[in-house]
Amino acid sequence: MMRAPAVADRFYPGHPEQLQAALDVLVPVVAAQKKKKALAVIMPHAGYVYSGATAGLTIAQVQVPQTVLIMGPNHHGLGPALAVSGEDWRMPLGAAAIDRGLAASILQHSAVFVEDQEAHLFEHSIEVQIPFLQQVQKQLKIVPVVVSHIAYSLCETAAHELAAAIGKQPQPVLMVASSDMSHYESRQQATKKDRMAIDRILALDPQGLYDTVHGKRISMCGVVPAVIALLAALELGATQAELIRYTDSGEASGDTSQVVGYAGLVIS
């Protein structure tokens, strides 16, 4: 069994040649010696016409190893709170195989992660990241994790388990936290709110990020994946975060009265 694409031809081109042409534009070529050794990145997951340039610029900045753990928010409410996919993913540019070693390591020693396919059936937040990763890493293997909204204490448990599993791997693992920022606010309001969340990430402050997003009612859909990735990265030795790009949907649509914000960040 393979997980079939759910949003090809909607969020991104479903035809391989058209998708490849789009990626060649969206992902700039960066010399290998200039790429950062990252522990995690935060990337947006909207349609490529809106957020693809931010996602592409962000992933181009980092060394992407063969194994990438991708965490995305659960937009559909299906499945358990922390759902690990066990099926390879069929994609327009070719299959993305599961790194079964890392997936097994997470599941065998976890009190919170569950292998489940239902949560992944219709979810776009992970799927849209895979072509970007395939563009820069031809031997890509993935561990997709759909994350529902959970308490901060459970984020800490999940992050500790991920850090332990990643730390045991013989090769590097990159974490991708998939998230858009503010939804359907004016550009002025979205930029103001999103800056507060971004500042907490840049300060390597996962508790502050969680509390700020909730306290200020910032509609950052992937805050929990971002918090878990930041917590795990800190446990693995992260010392800095960098904002690569911030923009919003108004850049593409021309409508700045109701925008969605997009940020690309690298944690290393």
pLDDT in tens, 56-96: 999 999 999 999 999 999 999 999 999 999 999 999 999 99
Report the CATH number that the domain containing residue 71 is assigned in CATH. 3.40.830.10
Q: Which domain holds residue 178?
A: 2-267
Mean pLDDT of all residues in the chain? Answer: 98
pLDDT in tens, 87-127: 999 999 999 999 999 999 999 989 999 999 999 999 999 99
Q: Are strands 114-115 and 82-84 parallel, antiparallel or unpaired?
A: parallel
What sign has the CA pseudo-torsion 38, 163, 141, 262?
negative
Q: How many CB atoms lie within 10 A of CB 153?
A: 8
pTM tops 0.95, yes or no:
yes
Is residue 106 within 8 Å of 100, Cβ to Cβ?
A: no
pLDDT in tens, 184-233: 999 999 999 999 999 999 999 999 999 999 999 999 999 999 999 999 99
pLDDT value of residue 109: 87
CA atoms lying within 13 Å on the CB side of residue 70: 37
Closest CA to 158 of 215, 230, 208, 98: 230
pLDDT value of residue 1: 84
Q: Give how many domains the chain has, as a whole number.
A: 1
- Name the DSSP letter for residue 14: -
